[in-house]
Structure 1
Amino acid sequence: MWTEISWGAKHIELPSDKMKMGQPHIIPLAEQAIALLQELEPLTGHGKYVFPSALGQSRPLSDNGVKTALRSLDYDNETMTAPGFRAMARTPLDRDTRQI
């Protein structure tokens, strides 16, 4: 949600009521991520969600929406899934944090 972005602190803070462990989750934002969000803001910033559903601004983009986008890019279920993108990014990110 746009309200979860803290531009000054350069992070996204997910409130504790959204998290399994009941603790808020802070996601630091790189300058590149901030720049992308700033480019996106004129397109969806008038609504509640950063990535709204194609069915209406009152709902977030669903997992099925991501799956549909992947299919439109000619990725099949065997090649790439929405969770696959997360896992693909996590591996090098996790390795980088261990070097700090």
Structure 2
Amino acid sequence: MGKLVWTEISWGAKHIELPSEKVKMGQPHIIPLAEQAIALLQELKPLTGHGKYVFPSARGQCRPLSDNGVRAAPSSLGCDNETMTAHSFRAMARTPLDRDTRQI
């Protein structure tokens, strides 16, 4: 998500649409957004919305947050790499989300 650009967010449809050239499978990928995610993106927009990237580099608005920046995020929260990684956050969220969708 580090290279997410504001134009990929469809506010009306409440999703992110990644173009085929950004996706391994070579087809556009739609990511539905929960109301909470939309609210967070709306809070972020005044901070980074004047640039191209949703998550710009600290070194300049014209560059996206680097993969290294994403890897460093857990340590800035006090977690070491043995305890939590950026991928761990995604996996941690996926488990309850998968469970919730099976109940619908």
Letter in 2 for 1:47: G
Corresponding residue to 2:100 among 93, 96, 99 = 96
For 1:71, the equivalent position in structure 2 comes to 75
Corresponding residue to 1:31 among 32, 35, 55 = 35
Which runs of 5 or more residues in structure 1 are unaligned?
none
The 3-state SS of whatever aligns with 1:66 is: helix
Which runs of 5 or more residues in structure 2 are unaligned?
none
For 1:54, the equivalent position in structure 2 comes to 58
For 2:85, the equivalent position in structure 1 comes to 81
Larger RCO: 1 or 2 (CA < 8 Å, sep 6+): 2
Corresponding residue to 1:21 among 22, 25, 39 = 25
Q: How many residues align?
A: 100
Q: TM-score, normalised by structure 2?
A: 0.88
CA distance in 2, matches of 1:83, 1:62: 15
Work out whether residues 73 and 86 of structure 2, in 8 Å CA contact, stay in contact via their aligned partners in 1.
no
CA distance in 2, matches of 1:63, 1:82: 10
